[in-house]
Amino acid sequence: MLSYPPLLLIAGAKGAVGSTVAAAIAAMKKDPDTVLPWLTTAPLCDHLGPFGSMEFSGWDASPKSINQAIEYHKVLPNKSLLNEGYLGEIRIHQAPSGELPLHAQVEQLIRDIEGFKALYPKNHPVLINLLPACRTIDLSGSDRLDRLYSHADPTKFPDLAYAIAAILTGVPVVNFTSNAIELPVIVEEALKAGVPVCGRDGKTGQTYLKVVLASALKARSLQVDGWYSLNILGNEDGRNLADPLKASGKVANKTGLLEEILGYKVGRQYGTDSHKVVIDYYPPRGDCKEAWDVIDFAGLFGLPMSLRLNLQARDSILAAPLVIDLARWMAALHAAGRSGLVPELGFYFKKPLGPNPPVTFQDQLAALDRLEVVCKEHKNT
Ligand SMILES: NC(=O)c1ccc[n+]([C@@H]2O[C@H](COP(=O)([O-])OP(=O)(O)OC[C@H]3O[C@@H](n4cnc5c(N)ncnc54)[C@H](O)[C@@H]3O)[C@@H](O)[C@H]2O)c1
């Protein structure tokens, strides 16, 4: 398959992350150097063409324009950063009506994707899921698409329609949300269609540093006795995650990886779990989230030590470059013939999916090196 620069098809294009990605793609059309230094893929996949040829489109339920969405989320206060001309031209489709059954939503999205492909024939479409976190829904009995169509309620889990439509039109899928769209039937359809799927739950700030620190403590045989992680955030994502049932998937993704890295349950000596993750909605912070970590660990003879970490970060500013990186990886891997789940992209996710995903920081970087070889081999064919 020939390689082209990605066309990012974003479900939730006018959200805080989506609109920041739009601003970054637009900025690269004027001057790639305003964004390139913050991309992990900047030195990779040069066969995908110039950075300024990437395109942005997608869907949202909001009637705002992209420029209005950027203003609303207040992620980018400085208007001089914006290429308002390109942003004004971006075409975002209305999300399918929640009243439609799942199969009708899929049909509508397939028509939209075919339209996007015709509009951007020199770009490689990649679907990026940036919808809000939703409550966990058990669809384990839906082992065929027709059963999924009759069992799934698209009002509670709109992500499915986007993932299915992408796969049926041969478009790779990035799941940046905590919503578990990678049902066995979805993965099976992706393998049949020959498209790669990666996820789940972008690893942007606190959890990224948790993987680094946990991997470092493990490498030194220091024993972690407890890890308390608190997040406060005041954007729409934070407001949505104030519902504990919607936050449960994200909390599980943020929690599970520590035990996987360390190889033991933190708190076993207390007879209770002493790895705690709390997410709190705190409006004054907006998109500038803050995270605290208290890490209790022990060294020789079990003597206790402790570490404090206070991260004052910007949610969407950390997330947007990773979304662009993932779109580039997926375009390159699809062109190289990869299909199904891509565990080697675990570096980017809180819950890396696929067989034997790398869990320590060192293994995640090594896995990326292996993927780079796959892409380079294809480039040279
Ligand atoms: N920012 C980060 O660091 C980060 C990290 C990991 C995961 N995530 C996840 O990424 C997702 C996006 O985050 P965000 O901050 O942009 O959220 P957001 O709430 O700002 O944006 C979500 C967008 O989805 C739109 N939407 C809702 N229902 C829709 C539908 N059915 N079809 C199309 N669009 C619809 C909304 O109108 C909104 O514009 C969330 O699930 C979040 O948890 C974010």
Which residues contact residue 15 at a Cβ distance below 8 angstroms, ignoring those fewer than 6 apart? 60, 69, 73, 130, 132, 236, 237
The CATH number for 300's domain is 3.30.360.10
Task: Residue 144: give the domain boundaries.
Answer: 6-202+316-379
**pLDDT one digit per residue (tens) for the chain, 381 residues:** 778 999 999 999 999 999 999 999 999 999 999 999 999 999 888 888 899 999 999 999 999 999 999 999 999 988 888 888 999 999 999 999 989 999 999 999 999 999 999 999 999 999 999 999 999 888 877 889 988 998 888 888 999 999 999 999 999 999 999 999 999 999 999 999 999 999 999 999 999 999 999 999 999 999 999 999 999 999 999 999 999 999 988 888 888 899 999 999 999 889 899 999 999 999 999 999 999 999 999 999 999 999 999 999 999 999 999 999 999 999 999 999 999 999 999 999 999 999 999 999 999 999 999 999 888 888 777
Q: How many domains does the chain have?
A: 2
Q: Which of 285, 312, 339 is the last residue of a domain?
A: 312
Enter the pTM of the model. 0.96
Nearest CA to ligand 1 atom 25: 12
> Among the atoms of ligand 1, which is closest to the Cα of residue 62?
37
- State the Cα–Cα distance between residues 113 and 245, nearest whole angstrom: 32
Nearest CA to ligand 1 atom 24: 12
Q: How many CA atoms are closer than 13 Å to the CA of 76, on its beta-carbon side?
A: 27
345 closest CA partner among 319, 320, 323, 371: 371
Q: How many Å lie between the centroid of ligand 1 and the Cα of residue 218?
A: 34
Q: How many Å lie between the centroid of ligand 1 and the Cα of residue 72?
A: 14
Q: Which of 286, 312, 338 is the last residue of a domain?
A: 312
> Among the atoms of ligand 1, which is closest to the Cα of residue 20?
16
Q: Are 91 and 169 in the same domain?
A: yes
The CATH number for 346's domain is 3.40.50.720
Q: Are 47 and 117 in the same domain?
A: yes
Q: Are 292 and 342 in the same domain?
A: no
Q: Are 42 and 137 in the same domain?
A: yes
Q: Are 160 and 269 in the same domain?
A: no
Q: Which of 294, 312, 330 is the last residue of a domain?
A: 312
Q: How many Å lie between the centroid of ligand 1 and the Cα of residue 335?
A: 28
Pocket test for ligand 1, best of 17, 177, 324 (most atoms within 8 A of CB): 17
Q: Are 211 and 230 in the same domain?
A: yes
DSSP state of 367: H
- State the Cα–Cα distance between residues 73 and 49, nearest whole angstrom: 31
Q: How many Å lie between the centroid of ligand 1 and the Cα of residue 287?
A: 12
Q: Are 236 and 281 in the same domain?
A: yes
Query: Is the shortest distance between the CB of 237 and ligand 1 below 6 Å?
Result: yes
Q: Are 192 and 284 in the same domain?
A: no
